[in-house]
C-alpha cells in the first residue's frame, strides 16, 4: 500500500508491504493519510488473482493472455466498479493483514504445508538428501508432530523409510538497536539432511528458513515463520444434512490403510476402493503413503474434461464412532493441502501418478492401479498435455464421526475446511461418515 501523509504543509510518501500494511491501514483510517495506491493478491472463483489501483483511478493487473483474456478481465472489472453495493473500505477491513509475533497462537494446529512457491515448480525440482537417500516432493511430505494448542510447533519431513523432526522457534531478536520479532527452524533429530534445488545445496533447517512452511490452525488462521494471519470472516458450519452416511458393517474402522501385500480387506481404504469399483471410473489409484495427493484417486475422462475425485481417509480414534474432534484434524488438513493440485498443470498430476507406481513398503510391492493400466495413464498424459481442463472434487472420509450425533465443533471445523477449499480452489468438498 502506498500512502500520502499530510503533515502540515508537507506531503510525504510512504510505501508499506507485508506486515507494515496493518499500520498503514490504521493511519489511513485515522485520516492522517490518503491511500495513493493499493496492490493485493488473492483468489477469485478458485483461481489466483492480483490487482492494483491508484487514487487517480488507474487499475492494473499482472496477467498473461491474448486480447480475449484482456476483454474478459475488463468486462468483469467493469461490473464490479458499477456495483454500488460494494464498499471498498469494507473490503480492505476484511483483508488478511500479516502480524509479526513472538508467541504462537493458542489454537490447535491442523496441518503444515510446503512454501507455496514450491508448488509452482515440478515435484522433482527440490531434492531432499536424507542420510544418503534421495527423495523429491513426490515421495516425501511435511507433517505436524504431537500437535497441541500450546508449546513450540514441531513438524517432520517424512519419507517412506524415515522421518526427521524440526521445531519452529519464535523469539524477539535483540541483536540490533531495535528489537524485532524473529524465528528460526531448529533440527531436532541427528539425521544428515540437505536440500538441492537448481545449483543450490543447503542444510535442511536453512532451507526451511528460506522456503518457510505454513502452519494452519483449526479456526482457519495461519502462521508462516513468525508471520501470523488471523481469519477475519465468520465461517458457517458445514451443513449436517450434507454429510453422507455410509454403512461400515464388516469394516474395522481402526484400520485406515489396505497396505501392500497381503491387503487388509477389512480396512477403510479397501472398503472405499471396492465401492468405487462399482461406479463408472476409468482409473482408480491407491496413492497412499508419503507424498500422496490423496489416499485414493478416482478418474473419469469425458470428451471435454478429466474429472478427478480425491478421497482422504482417516481411522477412528479408539476404533469407534464418537464425537472426538481429533478424528478430523489430520484428515481435514490433508484435504486442504490437496487443493494446490488445482493450480498445477494436468500433466503434473498424471506424472505424479506415473512416478509413484508401483506401491512399495518394507520389501513388498504391488501396483497402485486398482482399475486401469499404465497404458491408460500414459494415454491420459498425452490428452492433458493438450490443455483439457481437470475438474476436482474432494472427499473427507471418516467413519469415526456419526452423522446423527455430530457436534457443533466438528461442523465448524468441517466448515473452515470447506471454505478454504472453495475459496482457494473453487472445489466442492463432500464428507462421508458413519450413520
13-27, 72-86, 126-140: range with lowest mean pLDDT: 13-27
Query: Taking residues 20-42, what's their average pLDDT?
Result: 57
For residue 250, the tally of other CB atoms under 10 A from its CB is 8
Give the bridge partners for 322, in sequence order.
401
* Closest to 130 (Cα-Cα) out of 190, 185, 186, 184: 190
- Output the CA torsion sign for 93, 99, 104, 110: positive
How high does pLDDT run on average in the chain? 90
Residue 6, pLDDT above cutoff 90: no
**DSSP 8-state assignment for residue 68:** H
Q: How does pLDDT run across 383-396, given as a tens digit for each residue? A: 998 889 999 999 99
What does the pLDDT read at residue 424?
92
Q: How does pLDDT run across 314-324, given as a tens digit for each residue? A: 999 999 999 89
What does the pLDDT read at residue 87?
81
Residue 334, pLDDT above cutoff 80: yes
For every residue of 226-260, DSSP letters joined together read TEEE---SPPPPPPGGGPEE---TT--TT-----S
76-90, 364-378, 402-416: range with lowest mean pLDDT: 76-90
For every residue of 108-161, DSSP letters joined together read -EEEEE--GGGGGS-TTSSEEEETTEEEETTSEEEEESS--SSS-EEEEEEESS
Query: Taking residues 15-26, what's their average pLDDT?
Result: 52
Measure the CA–CA gap between 281 and 371, rounded to whole angstroms.
8
CA 220 to chain centre: 11
Q: What is the pTM of this model?
A: 0.87
- Cα–Cα distance list, 48 to 53, 78, 123, 276 (Å): 18, 19, 20, 32
Quick one: pLDDT band at residue 28, thresholds 50, 70, 90? very low
Measure the CA–CA gap between 77 and 50, rounded to whole angstroms.
12
Quick one: pLDDT band at residue 36, thresholds 50, 70, 90? low
Is pLDDT larger for residue 216 or for residue 25?
A: 216
Q: How does pLDDT run across 159-200, given as a tens digit for each residue? A: 988 999 999 999 999 998 999 999 999 999 999 999 999 999
What does the pLDDT read at residue 312?
98
Q: How does pLDDT run across 38-87, given as a tens digit for each residue? A: 778 888 888 889 998 887 788 999 988 899 989 999 999 999 889 988 88
- H helices within 18-64, ranges in order? 20-29
Quick one: pLDDT band at residue 97, thresholds 50, 70, 90? confident
What does the pLDDT read at residue 351?
96
Cell of 434: 458413519
Query: Taking residues 218-236, what's their average pLDDT?
Result: 91
* Closest to 295 (Cα-Cα) out of 242, 265, 325, 335: 335
Amino acid at each position: 500500500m502506498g500512502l500520502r501523509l499530510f503533515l502540515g504543509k508537507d506531503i510525504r510518501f510512504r510505501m508499506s508491504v507485508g506486515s507494515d500494511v496493518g499500520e498503514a491501514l490504521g493511519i489511513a483510517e485515522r485520516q492522517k493519510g490518503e491511500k495513493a495506491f493499493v496492490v493485493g493478491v488473492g483468489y477469485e472463483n478458485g483461481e489466483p488473482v492480483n490487482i492494483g489501483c491508484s487514487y487517480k483511478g488507474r487499475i492494473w493487473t499482472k496477467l498473461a493472455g491474448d486480447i480475449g483474456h484482456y476483454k474478459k478481465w475488463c468486462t468483469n472489472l467493469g461490473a464490479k466498479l458499477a456495483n454500488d453495493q460494494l464498499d471498498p473500505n469494507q473490503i480492505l477491513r476484511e483483508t488478511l493483514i500479516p502480524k509479526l509475533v513472538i508467541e504462537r497462537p493458542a489454537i490447535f494446529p491442523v496441518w503444515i504445508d510446503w512454501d507455496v512457491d514450491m508448488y509452482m515448480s515440478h515435484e522433482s525440482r527440490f531434492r531432499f538428501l536424507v542420510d544418503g537417500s534421495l527423495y523429491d516432493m513426490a515421495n516425501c511430505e511435511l507433517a505436524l508432530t504431537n500437535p497441541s494448542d500450546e508449546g513450540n510447533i514441531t513438524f517432520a519431513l517424512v519419507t517412506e523409510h524415515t522421518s526427521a523432526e524440526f521445531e519452529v522457534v519464535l523469539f524477539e531478536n535483540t541483536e540490533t538497536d531495535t528489537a524485532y520479532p524473529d524465528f528460526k527452524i531448529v533440527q531436532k533429530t541427528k539425521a544428515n539432511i540437505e536440500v538441492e534445488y537448481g545449483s543450490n545445496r543447503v542444510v535442511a533447517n536453512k532451507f526451511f528458513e528460506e522456503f518457510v512452511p505454513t502452519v494452519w490452525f483449526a479456526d482457519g488462521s495461519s502462521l508462516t515463520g513468525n508471520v501470523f494471519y488471523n481469519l477475519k470472516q465468520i465461517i458457517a458450519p458445514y451443513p449436517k444434512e450434507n454429510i453422507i452416511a455410509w454403512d461400515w458393517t464388516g469394516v474395522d474402522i481402526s484400520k485406515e490403510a489396505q497396505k501392500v501385500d497381503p491387503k487388509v480387506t477389512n480396512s477403510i481404504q479397501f472398503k472405499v476402493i471396492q465401492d468405487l469399483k462399482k461406479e463408472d471410473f476409468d482409473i482408480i489409484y491407491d496413492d497412499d503413503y508419503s507424498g500422496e495427493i490423496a489416499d485414493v484417486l478416482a478418474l473419469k475422462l469425458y470428451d471435454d474434461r478429466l474429472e478427478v475425485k480425491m478421497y482422504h481417509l482417516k481411522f477412528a480414534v479408539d476404533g469407534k464412532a464418537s464425537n472426538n474432534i481429533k478424528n478430523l484434524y489430520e484428515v481435514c488438513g490433508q484435504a486442504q493441502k490437496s487443493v494446490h493440485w488445482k493450480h498445477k498443470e494436468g500433466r503434473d498430476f498424471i506424472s505424479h501418478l506415473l512416478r509413484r507406481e508401483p506401491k512399495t513398503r518394507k520389501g513388498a510391492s504391488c501396483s497402485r492401479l486398482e482399475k486401469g493400466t499404465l497404458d491408460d495413464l500414459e494415454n491420459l498424459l498425452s490428452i492433458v498435455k493438450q490443455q483439457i481442463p481437470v475438474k476436482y472434487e474432494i472427499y473427507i472420509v471418516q467413519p469415526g464421526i456419526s452423522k446423527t450425533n455430530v457436534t457443533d465443533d466438528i461442523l465448524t471445523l468441517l466448515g473452515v475446511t470447506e471454505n478454504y477449499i472453495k475459496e482457494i480452489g473453487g472445489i466442492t468438498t463432500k464428507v462421508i461418515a458413519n450413520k
